[in-house]
Amino acid sequence: MGLRTAAQFKAGLRDGRVIYCKGERVEDVTTHHDLGIAVEHVALDFDLAEGPEHRELFSWEDPESGQRCSRYYKVPTCADDLLKRREMIERSTRLGGSVVLLIKEIGTDALFALDLVSQQVDQHCNTPYRDRVAAYHRHCKERDLTIAVAQTDVKGDRSLLPSQQEHPDYYVHIVEERPDGIVVRGAKAHTTCAPYVDEIIVLPTRAFGVEDGPFAVAFAVPVNTPGLKLIASPFGSPPPSQFHHPVSSRHRMVDTLTIFDDVFVPWERVFLKGETPFAGTLANTFVEFHRFTAVSYKPPLCDLLIGAAALMAEYNGIEKASHVREKLMKLIAYTETVRGLSRAAAYDCRLAANGTAVPNIVMTNLAKYHFANNYHQAVCWVQDIAGGLVVTGPAEEDLENPDTKGYIERLLGGKKGVSTRDRLRAFNLVRDLTASDFGGYNELLAIHAEGSLETQKITILRDFDLKRCKALAKEAIGAA
């Protein structure tokens, strides 16, 4: 098949999957009044691979199958592959209103990590995982499938290992081994895009102790597998109008509590089963690829924040004020640092033992840390420039009501020549991005998605070559 159309993708989602949203079972995710918005949003991925303008970037001639496939499935083997991957992610996010699509990005991050780590597990434990991963990669690539990744367990008491928890289901684990596969139980949290993808890859979320064998498990299942149940988060439920919510009324992500209620996984879909020393390796290797995806999709949101702030400054007549120019400069510096570091991570990649190009870990984590640690400050600059009407302005209905329309148009004008309606739209853009359900979602996404701040600090310290710098210091003081 190679490439699917958006219509084929949507048809594939009508497969009896079990999804709950706000207390009700979702019969058809593609037409659901709430989740359907996210389906339309991600369908852009298929349009990009088909349309003449973006086809060259978003698809590629796969020598293995002889088909034109989604470029997301191309294993990166050099800096140029990573730069193209980065550009695909940035461009699709920009065209998606600053909201990442994430229906192939995260899944292929997991496939690259699984290939790398399964090679090591096979060498040490004489397991057959690498061939299974390769067959699964082919399966997804040739059918143009979409994949979510469920890594983060619900975790219970964070200070305890899985086997020490009061409740064993706080981490997904194996409850039965059969001749044809395993049965798993437990739950993962925050699984982005799960209601509207074909497959879910499950990975361990952290390093485990030897006693945590049943929890050291990695596998993949189709979303309609019996026993798999998704409870969608209501956060960012459909906002009322494009006027009030110019971005989030058309673009959104949905995350789920992903429940494995005795789910059967056939052997060919099992990629780790009890090899505890490799659980942490797999968790970290996935993150090495996935944080690169993260820092590739962050800049379009930052660009939109810069644009919204600059537009508000112009509409309010303060664009020449020195404090405004300084805040705009800081927003630009913030954004371009993330963008520049993400490009540098691609240029400065390393080749792993299996030939895969891995983005530079320190650059990637610096970009992610810089983005997350300063996001709320960036929002503060935008809100400061925009002013209070971001949250106190009138409703669209008041602009339509003949009794109030005239007052609003006359009284809420800004700089001469700017229509009041456009000025109000600009306020609403800032509200949507920073002071709405969607704005709050973006703040939490900045801090926690792809790992919270501490994980980036640990990774930077672990991977930075401190020895080299200490040697320089010793040389400077003439120490032995």
Ligand X SMILES: Cc1cc2nc3c(=O)[nH]c(=O)nc-3n(C[C@H](O)[C@H](O)[C@H](O)COP(=O)(O)OP(=O)(O)OC[C@H]3O[C@@H](n4cnc5c(N)ncnc54)[C@H](O)[C@@H]3O)c2cc1C
Least distance from ligand X to the Cβ atom of residue 213, Å: 20
What does 416-480 look like in DSSP terms, one character per residue?
TT--HHHHHHHHHHHHHHHSSHHHHHHHHHHHHTTS-HHHHHHHHHHHS-HHHHHHHHHHHHT--
Nearer to ligand X, 189 or 399 (CB): 189
User: For residues 31 and 164, which CB has a smaller minimum distance to ligand X in the complex?
Assistant: 164
How far apart are the C-alpha atoms of 45 and 43, rounded to whole Å? 5
| 377 is a contact residue toward ligand X (CB under 6 A) | no
- Kindly give the pairing relationship between strand 147-150 and strand 228-232: unpaired
What is the size of the binding site for ligand X (CB under 6 A)? Answer: 19
Of 45 and 81, CB closest to ligand X: 45
Only one residue has tokens 């805040």, namely 327
Q: Closest CB to ligand X among 201 and 313?
A: 201
186 makes contact with ligand X (CB under 6 A): no
Is 452 an interacting residue with respect to ligand X (CB under 6 A)?
yes
Q: If you count DSSP H runs as helices and E runs as strands, how many of each does the chain have, helices first?
A: 16, 14
444 binds ligand X (CB under 6 A): yes
Given a contact cutoff of 8 angstroms between Cβ atoms, the answer to whether 161 and 212 are in contact is: yes
Q: Of 55-63, 223-231, 422-430, 449-457, which segment contacts ligand X by CB under 6 A?
A: 449-457
Residues 143-182 within binding reach of ligand X (CB under 6 A)? 149-152, 155, 158-159
Site string for ligand X, 397-436 (x = CB under 6 A): ----------------------------------------
Which residues, including other chains, have CB under 8 Å from residue 443's CB and lie 6 or more apart? 375, 376, 379
Query: Binding to ligand X by residue 192, rule CB under 6 A?
Result: yes
Out of 448, 460, 463, 464, which residue is the one contacting ligand X (CB under 6 A)?
Answer: 448
Q: Is 218 in the site for ligand X (CB under 6 A)?
A: no
**Residue number with CB closer to ligand X (4 or 190):** 190
Q: Does 255 bind ligand X (CB under 6 A)?
A: yes
Q: Which of residues 92-151 bind ligand X (CB under 6 A)?
A: 149-151
User: How do 24-25 and 18-21 pair as beta strands?
Assistant: antiparallel
Among the candidate windows 127-135, 394-402, 406-414, 441-449, which touches ligand X by CB under 6 A? 441-449
Core vs surface per residue 43-52: b (16+ CB within 10 A) or e: bbbbebbeee
Is residue 191 involved in binding ligand X (CB under 6 A)?
A: yes
Q: Which of 4, 17, 32, 190 binds ligand X (CB under 6 A)?
A: 190
Q: Determine the interface stretch with ligand X among 28-36, 89-97, 185-193, 276-284 (rule: CB under 6 A).
A: 185-193
Sequential DSSP letters for 238-278? PPS-TTT-TTTTT----EEEEEEEEEEEEGGGEEEES-THH
- CB nearer to ligand X: pick between 49 and 446: 446
Stretch that binds ligand X, among 12-20, 339-347, 394-402, 440-448 (CB under 6 A): 440-448
Tell me if 119 sits within 8 A of 353, measured CB to CB.
Answer: yes
- DSSP state, residue 153: B
Q: Report which secondary-structure segment, H or E, holds 67.
A: strand 67-70
Q: Which listed range, 169-177, 303-311, 381-389, 450-458, lies at the site for ligand X (CB under 6 A)?
A: 450-458
Inter-axis angle of helices 129-143 and 105-125, nearest 10: 160
Cα 3 to chain centroid, rounded: 22
- The letter for the amino acid at 98 is S
Of the two residues 150 and 385, which places its CB atom closer to ligand X in the complex? 150
Rg (CA), the chain: 24
Q: Does 360 bind ligand X (CB under 6 A)?
A: no
**Helix H or strand E segment including 414:** none
Establish if 368 lies at the interface with ligand X (CB under 6 A): no
Measured from the CB atom, the residue of 359 and 451 that comes closer to ligand X is: 451
CB of 82: closest distance to ligand X in angstroms? Answer: 21
Residues in contact with ligand X by CB under 6 A are: 149-152, 155, 158-159, 190-192, 255, 444-445, 448-452, 454
